[in-house]
Amino acid sequence: MLRVLWRIREGAIEDIVQASGEDPPPNYKTVQAWLRIMERKGQVDHRQEGRAFVFRPLINRGDLHKLSIRNLLTRYFTGSRAELLVALLSDERISRKELGKLEGLIQNRRRELS
């Protein structure tokens, strides 16, 4: 839903349903419910235009990624970044290239904190 709003900038529920590009399109009431949940979470806002509510995103992609990572850390790794990193490094699908990139990021962060 946020991807659609980022693309169209703002829209009523019907605009969002049509702009989703899904076939079949999402149910109007389902979109309405998701927008209300996202509004409670501070991700979208609305204003009234006639009888319609026009929704707009309050967060950008980067903010959403940060919120998602924090939620992942809290929900599955008791807030421990080390536990998350151990889980990532334990995955047999990680490539040498990805390991090298992680090593570089850790080294850069160490220098920033020194």
Residues 7 and 46 in one domain: yes
Residues 84 and 106 in one domain: yes
pLDDT at 52 over 90: yes
Contact 32, 46 (CB under 8 A): no
Contact 87, 77 (CB under 8 A): yes
Among 18, 34, 57, residue at a domain's last position: 57
Q: Report the number of distinct structural domains present in the chain.
A: 2
Instruction: Name the H helices within 1-114.
Output: 2-8, 13-19, 28-40, 61-77, 81-90, 96-113
pLDDT digits (tens, 9 = 90+) for 69-83: 999 999 999 999 999
Residues 53 and 91 in one domain: no
Arithmetic mean of pLDDT, 24-29: 96
What is the reported pTM?
A: 0.69
Residues 66 and 106 in one domain: yes
pLDDT band of residue 94 (cuts 50, 70, 90) is confident
Residues 68 and 85 in one domain: yes
> Which residue range forms the structural domain that includes residue 37?
2-57
